[in-house]
Structure 1
Amino acid sequence: MNSQPDQELEQRLQQLEAEINSPTSPPVVAQPQQPVSPTDQPSVVPIVLYRFVNWFKGLSNVGKLIVVAVAFFVGLAILRIVLRLVAAAISLAILAVLLYFAYRFLSARTSDKS
């Protein structure tokens, strides 16, 4: 009756030795917790990009075409907004220069009359 549990223990011990000695499983070493500075943390962007690429590869051809088309139109919309903002900034700069010269002209004219 005692031989069966002994055999099971012996088998389990051999399995554990085989797992420990196998080259595929790296040894688990507990490392002390150290405070992590923001520069030590891995960047989130590569992880998100990797997930997106895997998700995109999993799509069908029609799905890929739809995603590319939507991305193209969203990119065009963003580019259009940026160009409008740049044009508005340039217009405001030109208006400011014109107002400055008008002020200088009027202030010089009023000082000549005095």
Structure 2
Amino acid sequence: MNSQPEQELEQRLQQLEAELNSPTSPPVVVEPQPPASLTDRASVIPRVLYRFVNWFSGLSNIGKLIVVAVGLVIGLAVLRAVLKLVAAVISLAFLAVLLYFVYQFLLARTSDTKS
């Protein structure tokens, strides 16, 4: 009863030895993976979005409401920060232009007094 599985194992072992010893089989070469390209990164976004949509659809109505409320609060906070940054940049630009004109006025005034 054990002779048949042993024979099959023996035949399989001989086949594997023949495959290893045969010169026709090309060597296996493992190439290093190139760094992730832009297209690889672009394909990650739809997968993450798909996972989020699946997760969100699995929530209860209360859970969906909480997630939307938290997202709204975070979104408004980010929008407020961006608007404050834009307002600060505009204020600095206005101040720079004002200082430039004051400097030009003072420079013109000092050149008039020297003449």
TM bracket, shorter-chain basis = 0.5 to 0.7
Q: Which runs of 5+ in 1 are unaligned?
A: 6-31
Residues 1:111 and 2:79 are matched in the alignment: no
Percentage of identical aligned residues: 65
Larger helix proportion of the pair: 2
CA RMSD of aligned residues (A): 2.3
Q: How does 1:63-78 map to 2 (within 5 A)?
A: 63-78=63-78
Normalising by the residue count of structure 2, what TM-score does the alignment of the two structures yield? 0.66
How far apart are 1:47 and its partner, in Å? 1.1
4+ aligned runs moved over 6 Å, structure 1:
none
Equivalents in 1 of 2:79, 2:39: separation in Å? 34
Normalising by the residue count of structure 1, what TM-score does the alignment of the two structures yield? 0.66
Deviations 1:55-87 (A, max 9, x none): 101110000000000101111111111110110
Residues 1:54 and 2:54 are matched in the alignment: yes
Equivalents in 2 of 1:71, 1:63: separation in Å? 12
How far apart are 1:44 and its partner, in Å? 1.1
Question: Which deviates the most, 39-48 or 70-79?
Answer: 39-48
Q: Which runs of 5+ in 2 are unaligned?
A: 5-29
Aligned length: 88
